[in-house]
Every structure is written in structure tokens, then in C-alpha cells.
Structure 1
């Protein structure tokens, strides 16, 4: 997995984003993602790619008894321990591919904006299925395939600098995409919609909710936010570990 988040220049720029400074309320997709959370009272939660730990803290506020947040970035884990510490939360520097995923250990697994850095998402889906308890819930938010297949993940602009359209190319060729984000070249992984959704189904999950993130009405006055209605940026899924039978 790409670990650009331990690059000081990149991390300093990331720290200035609204989702870094305001937490969940500064994340445009939160109003949709939040609605998919199950009852977490007394439950165990695993957060894959926990970042600053906002979702870990939210899980505890919702009554979770035990939360583990893992992230490959040492800088992210340091921030999580400083900003969102709680006796019920354990933070660990660990990549998604390296974690051991103990069987039937968690009631809920969260993955927010990290799976588009993972080449073998099918492998992660199988491991998440294994580590969930029966009827456990997997909540994931991944960059939308239309976004990751975007040419340089940017608009085509007119002479006045106004976005004209969002170009998509090589959609059916999954794999590495390099984009320029927060002043750095960042390597991501493009996965098609079929790969993501069928990957979950083949791993054994039942899909309960599939949504494309879009800004809420009260965010539309923010400069540039209306352009987020022109193409999807994120794909949000709630999947359930159904009983074998």
C-alpha cells in the first residue's frame, strides 16, 4: 500500500483540509455514511485505515465497547492518539494487508477512503468477512470508479479556468493510477464498479446499501461544491456477513 501520508509536505497539506480540522462534520460524505452505522452499543469495531481516528471516537460515542484503529501511517496514528484518544480505543501502525484479521472477532468493520490504495481488494474483502462475527456489518467508502478512472483525476478546464467536463479513460483496465494531489504525485488503484460490488458478493457478503456520495443541500453554497454534482467522487457500501446456508 502507498504510504504517502508519512511524507511531511503531503501530511502538512492534508492537515489543512476541512476533514482534518473539523473531523466528521468537515467530511462531505458523512451525512450519508453516518446513516449506515448499525447499533454499536457493547460491540467491537475495527477501523481499517483509521487516519485521525474520527470514526473510532464516533464508535465509542455510540457505545462501542472495544475499538481497534489501524493505519500504515505513523503520522496518522500519532494524530489519532492525540486528537481522539479513549480507553476503549487501541491505535496501531499496521497496513491493511499485514493485519492478521482474527476470525469472528468484530461486530463492525469500517473502511473509509483507503481501499483505493489497495491492489488486491478481493483479498481484503475475504479477510474482513473472516474477521466479522455472524451478522456483522462492513461499512466502506471508496473513491468511485468514475473518479479513479478520471484522466489525472481532474477536470478539463476552459480558457477561463472553469471545469468543462470530467474525462474518463481506460475504465475497464484496473490497476495503478498516478495523480497529483496536495502537491505530490500519489499512486492509487483503480477498480471497476463490478470488481468492487461483485468482490463483496463473492466474498460472501449481502449488500444492504449502495450509495454514491453527493453533497448535502446545506453544503451547496461552498465554492466549487456544485461541481460535485456533475460526477461521483465516492462509493459508499454497507454489507452484511450473511449466514452460510
Structure 2
């Protein structure tokens, strides 16, 4: 089952949300996301398509889908604060936003041409359950686009580097990789509960659900982001895993 209680509490926490709002991906949208230069190339033709965004956050991907010609987009997120931001920043007559968790949404059969899940599945304990529901709600040849924290990242101890005496990162320690489950990390000044999944669980779960994999990418920052402080260190270990799966 999905750890919805923790998800809801942390993203609707005032202090946490204020910090989240300062992140480049919050302020600049998709252009501020280091993985976007890879993820956007995985999107199918959305002209006239029905799109579902699971964990839509500020609604950046919803608005992008409309800009790409989608006829109707539904963005759901458990956080009321996220939905309020989406309605303010990325409103459009073709987009409907709804406060709803991944486990409570109905997933009507054969209803969507594309389902997007951006940085939410690492909060999900039972990936297979969600994979099955997404497969059901997609139309034939429908596309499931996934951006999930990479297993090498979620297996990192406290999801942080080890540092030398001068505060420089020396290595990214990994432990208990083959023990999936709950991980408590420190993010934006708060303790955040996530779920670690192995690469096999993530990919084979999609195959076992009936999907075939069209593309798998490990995210790295674009060349024009390399001068941002700390960005070169993002080349030392993967942080996100991008997947395009087709029904």
C-alpha cells in the first residue's frame, strides 16, 4: 500500500512547502528540472490525446501536454497546496486538477492515451499495484511515462554524500540495496519517508504488468547546467530513472 499519510503531511507542511517553492523546478518549471532535456524526448505525439498526470505537483507537465495538443488533461495530487499552486500557475480550460491520492483514484478502463508519473512512485510501497491500475486505464498502445528516483539514489545512506573535512563530497555510499522498503531521508529541512525499490523491481514490474519498454534512461544534467554549483557532482551517480512503457 502507498504511504499516503506521510506524503500528504510533508507536502502540505507549511515550512517544507516554502522550501520546496524555492527549488529551481518549482520556480522555473520544466526548464529548471535537470532531467527535462531527456524526459521531454520520451513524450509521444499528444495531439488530440487524453492525458493523466499522477502526482501532478505544480501542473507543469499538464500544461506542457496541452501545449503539445492534448485535448483533455487530468492532474491529480494528494497535496492540497500542490493543487492550489497548479490551479494558479498552470490553469487551462483543457486541464482539470483534483486533490486525490494514487490509491484512491478510480483508473477507469481504457480511458487515457498517456499517463505521466513524475517523481512520485518512490513514495509507493507496492509498485505492482499501481502498474496494474495504470495498464488498465490506458488505451491500447497507450504510453506510461515514469520519472522515479534511481535505485542507486534511494539505496544511498540518508540519500547523501560522504564528505571530507572540508565539506567536499567524496563518495555516494550505498547499503542494503537488495532490501526494498521504507527509507527515511532528510530533505529541505524535514524528515521525508520514501520507498526504495531495486532496478529489477521497477523494470520487471512493468513487464509483468503487460507493458513493453520502449526507452530507459538514467538522468543527468544538460551541458548548460554544469556551471550551477554542485551540478557536476550529479555526474558521479544517477539520481533519476526515466522510463517509457507502452501498453
Secondary structure at the counterpart of residue 176 of structure 2? coil
Structure 2: runs of 5 or more not aligned: none
* TM-score with structure 2 setting the length: 0.97
Alpha-carbon distance between aligned partners in 2 of 1:37 and 1:193, rounded to the nearest angstrom: 22
Alpha-carbon distance between aligned partners in 2 of 1:167 and 1:49, rounded to the nearest angstrom: 29
String of CA shifts for 1:52-78, please: whole Å, max 9, x gaps: 000000000000000000000000000
**Aligned match of 2:235:** 229
The RMSD of aligned alpha carbons is 0.4
**In the alignment, which of 173, 194, 217 is matched to residue 167 of structure 1?**
173
String of CA shifts for 1:3-23, please: whole Å, max 9, x gaps: 210000000000000000000
Counterpart mapping for 1:29-178 below 5 A: 29-178=35-184
Alpha-carbon distance between aligned partners in 2 of 1:33 and 1:109, rounded to the nearest angstrom: 14
Secondary structure at the counterpart of residue 228 of structure 2? coil
* TM-score with structure 1 setting the length: 0.98
2:24 is the counterpart of 1:18:
yes
Secondary structure at the counterpart of residue 19 of structure 1? helix
2:237 is the counterpart of 1:206:
no
String of CA shifts for 1:177-212, please: whole Å, max 9, x gaps: 000000000000000000000000000000000000
String of CA shifts for 1:96-116, please: whole Å, max 9, x gaps: 111110000000000000000
Moved over 6 A (4+): none
String of CA shifts for 1:129-148, please: whole Å, max 9, x gaps: 00000000000000000000
> How many residues in Structure 1 have an aligned counterpart in Structure 2?
241
Secondary structure at the counterpart of residue 65 of structure 2? helix
Tell me by how many angstroms 1:170 deviates.
Answer: 0.3
Tell me by how many angstroms 1:218 deviates.
Answer: 1.1
String of CA shifts for 1:217-245, please: whole Å, max 9, x gaps: 1111111111000000000000000xxxx
Tell me by how many angstroms 1:149 deviates.
Answer: 0.3
2:222 is the counterpart of 1:216:
yes
Secondary structure at the counterpart of residue 74 of structure 2? strand
Structure 1: runs of 5 or more not aligned: none
Tell me by how many angstroms 1:172 deviates.
Answer: 0.3
